[in-house]
Every structure is written in structure tokens, then in C-alpha cells.
Amino acid sequence: MKNTIAIILLGAWAIGPNLAGAGDSLPISYRDRLEELRKVRHRKNAVPPTNAADPVPTISARPDYIDPMLAQSWKEINATVAEPATDGEWLRRSSIDLLGRIPTLAENKEFLSSRSSAKRSQWIDRCLQSPEFGTNLANIWMKLLMPAGVLDQDVDRDGLHAWLEREFNRGRPWNEMVTELLTAEGRSNENPATNFLLATQENGNSIRTTSMVTKLFLGVQTQCTECHDHPWNAWKQDQFHGMNAFFLGTRERRATKPQGGGLMTDYWMLEDIPLDQVAMKGVFFERRNGLSVFTEPTYLDGRSVQTLAGIKKNADDVRDYLRPEDSADAPAQGVRLRAELAKAITADSNPYFARAMVNRLWYHFFGHSFTKNVDDFDNGLDEPTMPELLDRLAGDFRTSKYNVKELARRITTTKAYGLSSKRKTKKNEDSLGFFSYQLVRPLSPEQLYDSLLTLTRLQDTSKESNTGKERQGFIDEMLRSFGTDAIPTAAPTYDGTITQSLMLMNSPLVGRLTSCVPGSFLHEVATDEKMNDKEKVDAIYLSALSRKPTSAESKIIAAMIEQTPEDKKPEVFVDVLWSVINSAEFLLNH
Amino acid sequence: MDRRHFLRHMIGAGMTFPMLDWVNGFHAARAATGQTRGQSMILIWLSGGPSTIDIWDLKPGTKNGGEFQPIQTTGSGQICEHLPRLAKQMKHLSIIRSYTSRDGSHERGTYINHTAFAPVTSVIHPALGAVVAKYNTPGNLEVPGHISLGGPGVSPGFLGASFSPFRVEAGSNPIPNIKSTVGIERLERRNTLLAKMQDTFVKQGRGELPGEHNTILNRAQELMSSKLLDSFKIDKISAARREKFGDHTFGRNCLLASQLVEIGVPFIEVGLGGWDNHQDIFKALSDSPRALLPQLDQGFGSLVEDLAERGLLESTTICCMGDFGRTPKINQDTGRDHWPTGWSVVLGGGKIKGGEVVGAMSDDGAEIADRPVDVSNLFATLYESVGITSATELRSPNGRPLKLVGTFGTGEPVREILS
């Protein structure tokens, strides 16, 4: 609560000159602020300019503007800036963020002993070249494109995951990836990109698809406007239904094959019927006052599909009709609705497209985005904390031809990314959204499992028979035991439950991962005759936490070793490893 | 390992533990008054959406009436012939026959009837169980206050992970992973090192998360050594009592729910699935190997009887409902489809009077004819029954005040069934 107001007020400060003149900054009341925002929205005419020459400020190609801009804002809000993270903290964090796992013992040793001044940027480059980078981003995007629980079960999830992995790894421009997801046609088992729409469409109904598309690719939330104009944000009911109408030509068909006496899904077929072959060329929706209104496929900014396809020169002022026949537009021959939608969404002139991805990647690397929720621009309540920086990054992203790796490199090589998560004062919380310290965030189930395997070097036992079965089982179990299965969009909270803690302490899987059997990391350490006990414990800590034990920890462990007969000594190392992986320090990215 | 032993070690390792104080206080309170329970609630959740026109509000002799006949009960309303045990208990239960929940999708119906709110993206509303756990968990309870026995286990939303549904299943291994894989001595030394690491990390000023993790970890460790774990083992209960509840998961879960109420758990959800009967509904309900009504009758009926016999009904509110009701019209596959417009909810115990019938549907069962009760009215009634003021407001993370009773209506409780 306190934070929320702080963000809003600080947001007000940041864009103060636009609102009330440079002299008026803090304090203004919450209500005044809301009023002002509403006025600003109306003045701005609620819709982003699209035909304007260039709505995004001109971009400097120099990459080193992020830190100076952040430093300037810290000065302005009088933020207490955290110390730089230690090399170990930085390595662990960047490894989790970029590769989806903690660093290996060898990586830790090499990085920590290197004296090169360029070692951080070299490490980032190495991560970006690793195939694990694509896997990690695919893990994240799968959860966004196909949230658990609500989607068709028999689409080809693995196919879409592999496609995302490959495209992220080969550096496919983001606009091309999104275009492919939006325009995909064909069989689910042959064209993996079809699976996004196949999963989000509900029996021919595209309400969910529409809200997911605007949220994921544009960072705007339109779902409330399905039923009513939003009281204070920019988005209106007809905009939602205009967007929804772009899926009128989308058809899904299930092909079955006999199995076990019944029929099961063989594949799904996804099509986009050209507009002239679609019977109803728009959708009806009901306004709150009960009036039934008709709208054609119309992009958020008011351009109808005919305008987008270049058939009509100017955007209509009117986009809703009472009856379909009120629209004089001729049906465009061969126009495919989803192709037009994809063009409008990914257009260079669309400021939302680049911003949405920048904001999301920034959120990934800082645990907080420029907005309160990562996918909620122009909600009329909270403005981006640093609009200039966001726009500049967005401009650079566009100039780089939507190069995701380049954007990730730009963000992770900043000093700000390398700040400690130790906050110097309580007051620091007020600067949430200005990134003067790093936020601690929980490891996702995928990151946790992959980190456990990296640490223990015990491969998935079920690999030969059924690839990834144990991994999936672990992830499902973790997800089930989370307090919520919603994907976080705002500042992180701890959602782990008692069930999850019990699982990490006592499950057979963790028992296996912490066992000292030949082939395991622990066995290698325990039987290494070149290391003394202290060095062995150091290796466990370094591997799991990228640091050495503190003197207090060493003392406790030394006592454990001392009280244990020589032949039982491996048990001590098992116990140390168990304690380490159950600690908040291991389970959190910090 | 002995819990006090363990606690001593945690403290020895520098943990500050308010726990020991209340552990001692708890035992003292129990000894002095014999009273450790507050008001509890059991939600019997029929997932898929129960056909209440075939269960609680029969329309015999009409075209929508279906195959079942009504029977007399010990209350004022008649119910389905396949519920003989429940018929004997209806003096303890009231039927709302005019409940409306407006939304016919499983996902949204489950959300609405657990939270009193329609789902939105800006906030996840806390489920009924999380709210009751928040207000009614005795400070000294060693087990989670929100327990799910085969129910959907709806999220605690912004109330946070401490109020998450704790999933348990009645049987030989009720709580997975509850036993340590090593002996007491080794567990002790593991915990000593872990406690030191936690303490160090929590104090490094890295925000709230490390402390939140530690709280949950401590609750889990506490549970591992709790004496209350015995109450989860229903195989120690007398055979006669077990048989009464039936040899099926739902019955066993109902028996476990009764046990958990006794040790003071404020909210337990018991789930029974399979109610999405778009085809062959009458077979599914009464005439198949896993027919639903006999299971419901045995589990739910025995639960009410058991609670009443043991004097626990006055402190235990029971509510039986699902995603929504089903269409009065029988479809071409002899099934019924989704019908949120008007359906029946059964409740009793706590401050709720038994034997009453509230509201009525039209003769064809399609529309509410009398005394509509909406989601807000039902939630207000349930909260009042467990001693939570229904006008209470929570504050969402966005700073918005949210009424416990949601936004579907006036939030007035159904006064005629509250004593």
C-alpha cells in the first residue's frame, strides 16, 4: 500500500512538468493525482498517435546512457543507492537470469579468480551464446503464452517450446517471432507456432486470445473493456471488440486417430479464412446501456482492417455501427485478418510493441518493471517511473531490428544490474521502480530444478526412458504447492508453501539429489584426497552459493565433523548440502 | 525429533522465536478451559457443478423433473430419494433454493463461488478458506488453518502463502514428505546449520522475501514434529465410525474433516468431483459403480451426524455447493448443462438454523420465483456464522478496499436462517 502510493507519487514527480507545471511537485494528494491523470488522458486523446512521423524520441546509439539516466533520477528522488554486488552474487544472479540455473563450480572458480576488467561483459557474451539462453527464455515465454491450467491440454506444448528455444537462440528478431505466432496456419504438429493460438482460442471464441495478445505483445490490458469502458484508463469497449474481430477468420479443427478403442487427438489444424469469405465481417457487443453495437476488425488506434490493408486511405472517425450494413466498406479481396493485425502490432510506428518487450525484459532482470505491473501501460493509474529511459531503450530495440540478445546484453552490462540486493535503509523501498538496488526474487520451479541438477551433477534418472519426466514431475509438484499459479507481473513476493518446504526437506527426489553416490558432485568432493575437510566444505558452498562459508558457519560445520567418526564423514557433507539447498539464500535469486 | 529439543537448538543457534511463548501459553489455555477451538467451517465442494434440481429441489411430475422422487426429511423441505442419511440430518441443515451466481464457466464459477468476486487481472482475491483461516486460526495451532481434502484448493490471493490451502488426503500417507529421511541427531545438526544460515541471510536487509521464506520453513518444521499429526491418521479411528463414512475417498475425507475440526482447524474444504454431467446424468448420480449421490449421502450425512453427536456442530458451519447448478431442461444426451441462474446451496451448523428452506424456483425450475440470494448474501451469511463481521473490508495490494462479501450484491446476510 505504502509502496503503491509512493510509486504513484514518484511517478507524478517524474512527469510533473507535463502535469502541473515544473513548480508543483510533491506533495499532492492521491485523489488530485488521479484527477490530473484523467485530464491528461483526455488531452492525449487516449490513443497513441500512429501516423505521426515518429512518436518515439530520437535515439542515441551510445549504449552507456542507462546508468547516467538512472543516476540522475536517484539524485532527483534522493535515493540511497545500494553497494555493487560482490563478484559471486553478480555471477549467480546473471547465470540464473540468463541461463536459468546457478553457475557450475568450474564457472564459479574461473570467474572469481579472473582479474580481467572485462570479465563481466565476457561472461554475459558467453551466456548469450549458450543454448541454455534460449531454453531459459522459452521456459519463461511458455508460461506467458500458455499459462497452466486454463488451456487446451492436447496442443503441442513441447513443439512450441522447442520453436521458441530455437528462435531465441538463433537471434530471430522479436517482431518476426510475434508475426509468426499471430499469423501461423497449418497443423499443430508441423507448424509449432500454431500452438499459441490453438491453446488460447476457446471453441472458436477469441475473447481470451484478444486480451492475451494485447497484454503480451503490447503491454496493455483490454480484458476489462470486454464488458465496459474502463472508468479511468485509456481503453474502451469498442477497442476490445475491434481487436477481437481480427480473429473472425480463425478456424481450428481437430483431427483424430483411433487409439485404445476410442479416438484421440492426432493434431489440430489452424486456419485464417480471408475476410471476403467470412460471413459476418464484424462483431456485435452490448454496451452497458443495453445498446447493441457492431464493430469491424479495427486496431486499437482506430484504423479498420481496410485502412490497414491499404484499401481505404483514411481512418474513419466512426468505428461502431448499429447494423453491419451501415458500414459502406467493400469486403477486401483476399485480406487475411491476422496478417493485418500482426502488421499493425509489430509496426515500427507502434510505440507499444517495442516498449512492451523492453519492459518485460527489464522486469526479468530487475524483478520490477518501469510500470507497477509489467503488462499494464496506460491504465490511467500509474505512469512509467522512467518514461524517457523506457522510450530510449524501446527506440534502441527497434533500431537493432528487435534483437532480444542485444537488449539483454544492454541491460545486464549496466552498473545498475550489478547492484547488491542489500538495501542500505528501509527508506529504499520508496525508490522501487527506480532500480537503486536489486530485488530478491524466488527461483522459478524450472530454475530450481535445473540449479539442483547443476549443483549435484545427478542427471535426470528417467532420461533414458522418458526424457524430462522427473523434471516435469518436480515442476508440476512445485507449481501445485505454490500459493498461487499466477505469473507474477509486479514486485516479487514469496509464494512458497509449507507443502513445498516439506518437499525440499524430505522428498525422495531431494534425498536422491543430496546423496553421496559415485558420479555425484558430493561423492567427488568427499573422496577427493587432495582436499582437506575445510576445502571440501568450501567447494560445496562455492558451488551452491558462489561464496565461501562464513566463520560462524565454518564453526558449526567443524563441530559437526569433529563429532562424526571418520567412516561416517560423507554424511556430514550430505547434511551440509541439505542445509544449503533448504536455505533462503539458495532458493532465492538475490 | 522432539519439538522442544529442536526449538532449543534453533534458539541456541541465534534464532529469535516467539513460538516457544505461545507453545507454553497454548498448553496452559487448553488445560485451563478445555477449549481451544474457535468457529470452523467445512466447505463441501461438488466440482463440475451439481444438478441441484435432482438433489435439493426436485420438481417431480414436470417435464424438467427428471427420474428421481423426493422424500420427507427431518427439516421442512424434501430432498432426493437417494439421500436417506441426509434426510435424517436435514433438521440441522437449511436449503437456499434461489441462489444465483451468474457465471456458467467452470473456471470462473469456481473462482466466484470461492471468493465472492469475478476474476480480474489486477488482483487475485483470497478464497473463503484463506479469509476464515486469517481470522479464525487459533494463534497456537501447529497445523495450517486452511486445509484442502481433495478440493480445488483456491488461491489465498493477496493474503499470501501463509493462508494457502494445505493439501492433504485421508489415507495411509495423509501429508506427503512429512517424515524426515534422516534420524533425529542428523536432522538436528542439519537444522542447526540451516537456522544459522537463515538468520544471517534474513538480517542482511534484502527486503521481505527471506523472512517470508523463513516463516514458512519454520511452520513446516513445526508441523513435522507436531503431536497433532496423529489426528490426520484416520486408520487409528474405530472401525465402526470409519465404516459409517464409507469406503471411498470422499467419505474418508469427510471423516478426516471432522477430526480436523476437533483439533481446531478453522477451514477445511472437502471435494467430490464428477458433477459435470452433460450426458446420462441419472446414471451418474444414482446408478453406476461410483454413483455420486450415495457417496455424497454417506460422507456428508455421516459428517453432520458425527459433528452433532460430538457436540461440534454449534462451532462448525457447513456449506455444500459447486461451480454452478445445471439446466432444468434435460438435453438430448439425457444430461443437463451449466445453469448459474438459479440453484440450491445447503448450509448448516454454526449460527445457521437447521430445517429451513429459503426461496423458490419457478415450477419448471428455470427462474428464481422467490427470495433471490446472490453471492454476496451467501458469503455474508457464512462469515457471520463463523463470527466474522460480514462488513469487514480487506485492502488489496493496490490499496483498494475490498469487502469480504464481494461486489455481486448488497452483502446482506440471509437473516432468516441466522440465529
DSSP string, A314-338: S--S--EESSGGG--PPPPTT--HH
Fold of B39-174+233-417: Alkaline Phosphatase, subunit A (3.40.720)
B60, B53 contact by CB (below 8 A): no
Amino acid letter, residue A310:
G
The answer on pLDDT for A57 being more than 90 is no
Contact residues, chain B, for A582 at CB < 8 Å:
194, 217
The answer on pLDDT for A548 being more than 90 is yes
C-alpha–C-alpha distance, residues A361 and A260, integer Å: 45
Contact B210/A440, CB-based, under 8 Å? yes
Task: Estimate to the nearest angstrom the gap between the alpha carbon of A443 and the chain centroid.
Answer: 13
- What pLDDT score does B208 carry? 87
Please name the residue of chain B whose CA is at the shortest distance from the CA of residue A590.
B206
The answer on pLDDT for B269 being more than 90 is yes
Give per-residue pLDDT as tens, B368-391: 999 999 999 999 999 999 999 999
A332, A309 contact by CB (below 8 A): yes
Contact A556/B196, CB-based, under 8 Å? yes
Residue B62 in 3-state DSSP? coil
Length of chain B: 419
Mean local confidence (pLDDT), A101-108:
95
- What pLDDT score does A41 carry? 32
C-alpha–C-alpha distance, residues A525 and B179, integer Å: 28
Nearest to A553 by CA among A585, A523, A525: A585
- What pLDDT score does B18 carry? 35
- Residues 456..485 of A with a Cβ closer than 8 Å to B: which? 480-485
Range A168-180 burial, b when 16+ CB lie within 10 A, else e: bbeebbbbebbbb
C-alpha–C-alpha distance, residues A8 and A20, integer Å: 15
Nearest to B116 by CA among B399, B418, B415, B390: B390
The answer on pLDDT for A17 being more than 50 is no
| Per-domain residue ranges of chain B | 1-35+185-229, 39-174+233-417
Q: Tell me the pLDDT of chain B averaged across its residues.
A: 89
Omega of the bond leading into A27 within 30 degrees of 0 (cis): yes
Per-residue cell: A359: 519492459
- The phi-psi region of residue A203 (left if phi > 0; otherwise alpha if psi is between -120 and 50; otherwise beta) is left
User: Which stretch of A422-426, B63-67, B303-307, B367-371 has the lowest confidence by average pLDDT?
Assistant: A422-426
- What pLDDT score does A249 carry? 92
| Per-domain residue ranges of chain A | 2-129+349-439, 133-346, 442-589
Per-residue cell: B37: 477451538
C-alpha–C-alpha distance, residues B184 and B2, integer Å: 8
- Nearest-by-Cβ selection for A483 from B122, B164, B197: B164
Question: In angstroms, what separates the C-alpha of B147 from chain A's closest C-alpha?
Answer: 11
Task: List phi, psi (to 5°) of B235.
Answer: -70, -10
Residue A578: band (very low, low, confident or very high) from pLDDT cuts 50, 70, 90:
very high
Contact B177/A505, CB-based, under 8 Å? yes
- What pLDDT score does A458 carry? 78
DSSP type of residue A354:
H
Contact A495/B161, CB-based, under 8 Å? yes
The answer on pLDDT for A394 being more than 70 is yes
Residues 6+ apart with CB under 8 A from B171: B234, B252
- What pLDDT score does B309 carry? 96
CA distances from A298 to A196, A238, A244, B395, B397 (A): 22, 9, 9, 38, 34
- What pLDDT score does A49 carry? 35
To the nearest 10 degrees (0 to 180), the angle between helices A66-77 and A387-399 is 170
Residue A405: band (very low, low, confident or very high) from pLDDT cuts 50, 70, 90:
very high
Per-residue cell: A311: 484499401
Residue A235: band (very low, low, confident or very high) from pLDDT cuts 50, 70, 90:
low
C-alpha–C-alpha distance, residues B403 and B392, integer Å: 6
In percent, how much of chain B has pLDDT > 90?
A: 76
- Nearest-by-Cβ selection for A502 from B121, B178, B213: B178
Instruction: Name residue, grid cell 481446531.
Output: B264
- What pLDDT score does A63 carry? 59
- Nearest-by-Cβ selection for B200 from A429, A496, A550: A550
A219, A374 contact by CB (below 8 A): yes
- What pLDDT score does A505 carry? 96
Range B279-301 burial, b when 16+ CB lie within 10 A, else e: eebbebbbeeeebbbbbbbbbbb
DSSP type of residue A161:
H
Mean local confidence (pLDDT), B138-152:
90
Amino acid letter, residue B53:
I
Q: Which residue has the higher pLDDT, A499 or A231?
A: A499
Instruction: Name residue, grid cell 457471520.
Output: B384
What percentage of chain B's residues is helix, strand, coil (to nearest 5)? 40, 15, 45
- Residues 213..232 of A with a Cβ closer than 8 Å to B: which? 215, 221, 223-224
Is A588 an 8 Å CB contact of chain B? yes
Is A560 an 8 Å CB contact of chain B? yes
C-alpha–C-alpha distance, residues B43 and B172, integer Å: 23
C-alpha–C-alpha distance, residues B112 and B118, integer Å: 5
The answer on pLDDT for A135 being more than 60 is yes
B324, B339 contact by CB (below 8 A): yes
Instruction: Name residue, grid cell 484499401.
Output: A311
- What pLDDT score does B24 carry? 35
- What pLDDT score does A86 carry? 96
What pairs with residue A269 in β-bridges?
A187, A253
Give per-residue pLDDT as tens, A485-501: 556 677 777 777 888 99
Contact B124/A486, CB-based, under 8 Å? yes
Contact A502/B219, CB-based, under 8 Å? no
Please name the residue of chain A whose CA is at the shortest distance from the CA of residue B174.
A499
Give per-residue pLDDT as tens, A345-379: 999 999 999 999 999 999 999 999 998 888 888 77
A480, A149 contact by CB (below 8 A): no
The answer on pLDDT for A463 being more than 60 is no
Residue A491 in 3-state DSSP? coil
Per-residue cell: B249: 475417498
Q: Which residue has the higher pLDDT, B322 or A474?
A: B322
Nearest to A88 by CA among A441, A418, A452, A448: A418
Contact A506/B156, CB-based, under 8 Å? no
Contact A494/B212, CB-based, under 8 Å? yes
Mutate to test the interface with B, among A376, A487, A494 (most CBs of B within 10 A): A494
Give per-residue pLDDT as tens, B114-143: 999 998 766 789 999 999 999 999 888 889
What pairs with residue A258 in β-bridges?
A263
Nearest to A193 by CA among A300, A342, A335, A336: A342
Residue A30: band (very low, low, confident or very high) from pLDDT cuts 50, 70, 90:
very low
User: Which stretch of A101-115, A530-544, B224-238 has the lowest confidence by average pLDDT?
Assistant: B224-238
Task: Say if residue A111 is exposed, middle or buried (CB neighbours under 10 Å; 0-12, 13-18, 19+).
Answer: buried
Nearest to B180 by CA among A486, A470, A548, A505: A505
Mean local confidence (pLDDT), A402-409:
96
- What pLDDT score does A43 carry? 32
Side-chain-side CA neighbours of residue A150 (13 Å):
20
User: Which stretch of A108-117, A470-479, B221-230 has the lowest confidence by average pLDDT?
Assistant: A470-479
Amino acid letter, residue A198:
L
Residue B180: band (very low, low, confident or very high) from pLDDT cuts 50, 70, 90:
very high
Q: Tell me the pLDDT of chain A averaged across its residues.
A: 81
Contact residues, chain A, for B191 at CB < 8 Å:
579
Task: List phi, psi (to 5°) of A260.
Answer: 55, 40
- Residues 567..586 of A with a Cβ closer than 8 Å to B: which? 571, 575-576, 578-580, 582-585
Mutate to test the interface with B, among A222, A478, A498 (most CBs of B within 10 A): A498
In A417-568, DSSP assigns E strands to: 441-442
Contact B167/A481, CB-based, under 8 Å? yes
Give per-residue pLDDT as tens, B58-106: 999 999 999 999 999 999 999 999 999 999 999 999 999 999 998 888 8
Mean local confidence (pLDDT), B29-46:
67
Q: How many contacts, defined by CB atoms under 8 Å, are there between A and B?
A: 168
The answer on pLDDT for B113 being more than 90 is yes
Q: How many other C-beta atoms lie within 10 A of the C-beta of residue B197?
A: 25
In A80-176, DSSP assigns E strands to: none
Contact B178/A4, CB-based, under 8 Å? no
Contact residues, chain A, for B224 at CB < 8 Å:
502, 505-506
Per-residue cell: B395: 485492502
Contact A575/B190, CB-based, under 8 Å? yes
**B40-47/B267-273 β-pairing:** parallel
CA trace torsion B311, B312, B317, B318 (10° rounding): -90
A445, B118 contact by CB (below 8 A): no
DSSP type of residue B352:
B
The answer on pLDDT for B265 being more than 90 is yes
